[in-house]
Chains A and B, each alone.
Chain A
Amino acid sequence: MINTIIPLVYVAAAASFILALKWLSAVQTARRGVIGGVLGMALAVGGTLLKPEIVSYHWIAVAFVLGAIVGVPMAMMPMTAVPQRTALSHAFGALAAALVGTAEYYLRTPKIDVLTMAGLAVEVLLGFLTFTASLMAFGKLQEILPTRPITYRGQNFVNLTLLGLAAVSGVVLVAAPERTWLFPVFGALSLVFGVLFIIPIGGADMPTVISLLNSYAGLSACAMGFVLDNHLLIIAGALDGSSGLILSIIMCRAMNRSFANVLFGAFGQVHASAAGAEDRIVRSATPEEAAPILANAGLVIVVPGYGMAVAQAQHKVRELFDTLTKLGVEVRFAIHPVAGRMPGHMNVLLAEADIPYDRMFAMDEINSDFAQADVALVIGANDVTNPGARHDKSSPIYGMPILDVDRARTVMVIKRGMSPGFAGIDNELYYLDRTLMVFGDAKAVVGSLVKEIAAANGMH
């Protein structure tokens, strides 16, 4: 009886997950998407707990409580920490899959058929490598580890050899699962590969890498589904896998780079600085000088970048938005797909600061508007605004789609100093006649802009 109900419960869970993702496609229905997801998970867990093969609930209950104790604070982390939180949760997800794979291997050997062992090998390989890779990504995002790429001679050779060794030991295990001594070697190789895989990856490439790890975590759950012959796991894992894949493709396209280039290219490490950049003239302005230009504009397009997140300037940006809106200035936000450290990072930060989402526009929606804009206000964004990407064939970012800020009447750039961005490239934008550099901490500068505008226009 119970064995006929459980498959039905699982089907309902799978349907809930699919609906959840469908609902998430638009802001209006997105919250329903979370409810769909919760319902799906409740059905999946409930159905599994009913299985007669479960003889004891003791440790399951303990783990539920422990998980909730850690999970709740992780959900309460500030929005600026969302990229590292996401990396950490990829690590937990992947570790769960790898541990189950390990347990299943030791329970089932030596009576283990080829297909099952192949599934286990994929599950354990992806699980362990995603676990350590995500921890490394977390360390880089949290800045416990250096965010610059670390490279050495022969790095790609070492990495590929290691992956090759892991793959070979996996294949040997599939052929002869009874070689239990090889399994820890296989697991260790996967763990070490995960660490080395992230070492050469720099901060600017994190959006792609996080998406890719998202995909791997899903695929390891999928492989578990093959091992356990459980279609619910396969469906949910495949949904996660395809989501991560789409996001990483979007991120790669937004940088005009291939997967291989992101993973093995060690972007943003050493580049010969553009010749003659030193003697070019930069026009700078104080917030007092910049404020009237903003106040008298008809359309201002704000371009936020990672620098805004670092300076925690989003709430001051919201004040600027309010002040300018009150003066009748139209303010829009232009968001490049790779702005920030994960897909959609800027949108979440702006939404947290209560900036309405109908004021935020994706690159292809807004690029044609820059020609009509009086001011393009660049806050902590760099490479995504570099006009050099359009024509400078020697530039590492040549061909990358950029926000056309240089088409606005005035370009205002808030920046700490003249240091280059993560790609280590000098930005032509800063030397244009129409560009005004406002030097200083983003939060402080935007704060004084708000004060100046309010004072000049009799607002409080």
Chain B
Amino acid sequence: MASDFELSLFVFVLATFLGLEVIRKVSPLLHTPLMSLTNAISAIAVVGSILVTGRQESTLSTVLGTAAVTCSMINIVGGYLITYRMLKMFKKSGKGAK
């Protein structure tokens, strides 16, 4: 049985390759929305932040955790909203803009 660390390393390597393949195909047209979307996705740090805050093990960890959840939440809300706003602006000829 693989150790936890070994398994994590496998997941990391495979996810990186998958990411490289998927993202290489993104059109240069959408590089700004790509960055704001991946930025929102990397706010996945919210998972660790919630755990640290919710376990309430020490005052320090609760304070740091609350700050971390706030930061992550800013990126989740802000990141997805602005990506959506940007993508809504991309129109084809003859649609919306006459």
Residues of A within 8 A of B (CB): 17-18, 20-22, 24-27, 30-31, 33-34, 37-38, 40-41, 44-45, 48-49, 51, 53-57, 59-60, 62-64, 66-68, 70-72, 74-77, 79, 82, 85-86, 89-90, 92-93, 95-97, 99-100, 102-104, 106-107, 115, 210-211, 214, 217-218, 220-222, 224-247, 250, 318, 335, 337, 342-345, 347-348, 351-352, 354-360, 362
* 16 A-B pairs with C-beta separation under 8 A: A24-B30, A24-B34, A27-B27, A30-B30, A54-B51, A59-B62, A63-B49, A75-B77, A76-B81, A89-B74, A96-B43, A106-B60, A107-B57, A222-B12, A344-B30, A351-B91
Q: Determine the chain B residues whose CB is within 8 A of the CB of A27 once the complex forms.
A: 27, 29-30, 87, 90, 92
Contacting A86 at CB < 8 Å: which of B11, B18, B35? B35
Nearest-Cβ distance from residue B33 to partner chain A, whole angstroms: 7
In contact, A79 and B86 (Cβ under 8 angstroms) = yes
In contact, B35 and A48 (Cβ under 8 angstroms) = no
Per the bound structure, the CA–CA distance linking A115 and B92 in Å amounts to 51
The answer to whether residues A38 and B87 also contact, given A20-B41, A211-B35 and a CB cut-off of 8 A, is: no
Is the contact region of chain B dominated by helix, strand, or loop, or is it mixed? helix
Nearest-Cβ distance from residue B23 to partner chain A, whole angstroms: 5
In contact, B91 and A357 (Cβ under 8 angstroms) = yes
In contact, B44 and A221 (Cβ under 8 angstroms) = yes
Contacting B42 at CB < 8 Å: which of A54, A211, A221? A221
The answer to whether residues A53 and B52 also contact, given A44-B44, A357-B91 and a CB cut-off of 8 A, is: no
Q: Determine the chain A residues whose CB is within 8 A of the CB of B58 once the complex forms.
A: 106-107
Q: Determine the chain B residues whose CB is within 8 A of the CB of A354 once the complex forms.
A: 89, 91, 96-97
Per the bound structure, the CA–CA distance linking A226 and B7 in Å amounts to 10
Interface centre among B12, B58, B71, B75 (most CB of A within 10 A): B71
The answer to whether residues A31 and B84 also contact, given A37-B37, A100-B52, A233-B47 and a CB cut-off of 8 A, is: yes
Q: Determine the chain A residues whose CB is within 8 A of the CB of B64 once the complex forms.
A: 99-100, 102-103
In contact, B27 and A26 (Cβ under 8 angstroms) = yes
The A/B interface has a contact count, at CB < 8 Å, of 375
Nearest-Cβ distance from residue B27 to partner chain A, whole angstroms: 7
In contact, B73 and A55 (Cβ under 8 angstroms) = no
Binary per-residue interface labels of chain B (76-98) against chain A in the complex, 1 for a CB within 8 Å, 0 otherwise: 11111111111111111111110
Nearest-Cβ distance from residue B43 to partner chain A, whole angstroms: 6
Contacting B54 at CB < 8 Å: which of A60, A230, A342? A60
Nearest-Cβ distance from residue A349 to partner chain B, whole angstroms: 9
Per the bound structure, the CA–CA distance linking A68 and B71 in Å amounts to 10
Interface centre among B20, B25, B32, B93 (most CB of A within 10 A): B32
Nearest B residue to A251 via CB reads B31
Nearest-Cβ distance from residue B40 to partner chain A, whole angstroms: 6
Per the bound structure, the CA–CA distance linking A92 and B45 in Å amounts to 11
In contact, B91 and A344 (Cβ under 8 angstroms) = no
Nearest B residue to A354 via CB reads B97
Contacting A48 at CB < 8 Å: which of B34, B50, B74? B50
Per the bound structure, the CA–CA distance linking A55 and B65 in Å amounts to 14
Interface centre among A49, A68, A75 (most CB of B within 10 A): A75
Nearest A residue to B21 via CB reads A242
Per the bound structure, the CA–CA distance linking A115 and B23 in Å amounts to 30
In contact, A234 and B12 (Cβ under 8 angstroms) = yes
In contact, A234 and B8 (Cβ under 8 angstroms) = yes
In contact, A67 and B77 (Cβ under 8 angstroms) = yes
Q: Determine the chain A residues whose CB is within 8 A of the CB of B20 once the complex forms.
A: 242, 245-246
Q: Determine the chain A residues whose CB is within 8 A of the CB of B80 once the complex forms.
A: 34, 37-38, 41, 75
Per the bound structure, the CA–CA distance linking A104 and B64 in Å amounts to 10
Q: Determine the chain A residues whose CB is within 8 A of the CB of B67 once the complex forms.
A: 63, 95-96, 99
In contact, A348 and B42 (Cβ under 8 angstroms) = no
Q: Determine the chain A residues whose CB is within 8 A of the CB of B48 once the complex forms.
A: 97, 100, 104, 224, 227-228, 230, 233
Contacting A24 at CB < 8 Å: which of B26, B52, B76, B96? B26
Q: Determine the chain B residues whose CB is within 8 A of the CB of A224 once the complex forms.
A: 45, 48
Q: Determine the chain A residues whose CB is within 8 A of the CB of B17 once the complex forms.
A: 242
The answer to whether residues A57 and B54 also contact, given A31-B88, A243-B19, A344-B35 and a CB cut-off of 8 A, is: yes
